[in-house]
Amino acid sequence: MDFVGPEQVSPHYENFAMSRKWAIFMSGGFIGLNVLGSVVDLHWIMASAIIPFFYWMFTSYWTLEGRSSLTMPLLNRFYFKLAKYEMSLLQTYWVDNTREKIRANLAEANEQMDFY
């Protein structure tokens, strides 16, 4: 099993950014409107654009993504398996990582003692 590696992800799996791209775009647009709205010269443009932006973004989100993604379960099994794999890697290489950290700290301590 070490030779094969971890269980492969299904080719149909989409990452979080692709599966929730409209929600992320809507949040980013809101943040962008707020940032640009703080500019004195652009305030009136952003203030008049915020209601149409939210109307069209909510309509697009519900039409393209919301109907299906809000009722679908998240892939918790995949995330739990990924977290378990990362923790097993952390446990496997704990001694090596600790040794490297101690060497770095010793080198810094020796350098400080040489300076004094």
Which helix (H) or strand (E) covers residue 45, if one does? Answer: helix 43-61
Q: Which residue has the higher pLDDT, 1 or 57?
A: 57
Which tens digit of pLDDT belongs to each residue from 2-54?
A: 655 666 666 566 666 666 777 788 888 888 888 888 888 888 888 888 888 88
Which helix (H) or strand (E) covers residue 71, if one does? Answer: none
State the Cα–Cα distance between residues 56 and 70, nearest whole angstrom. Answer: 18
Which helix (H) or strand (E) covers residue 14, if one does? Answer: none
pTM of the shown model: 0.40
* Averaged pLDDT of the chain: 81
Longest dimension (CA), the chain: 68
State the Cα–Cα distance between residues 44 and 81, nearest whole angstrom. Answer: 49
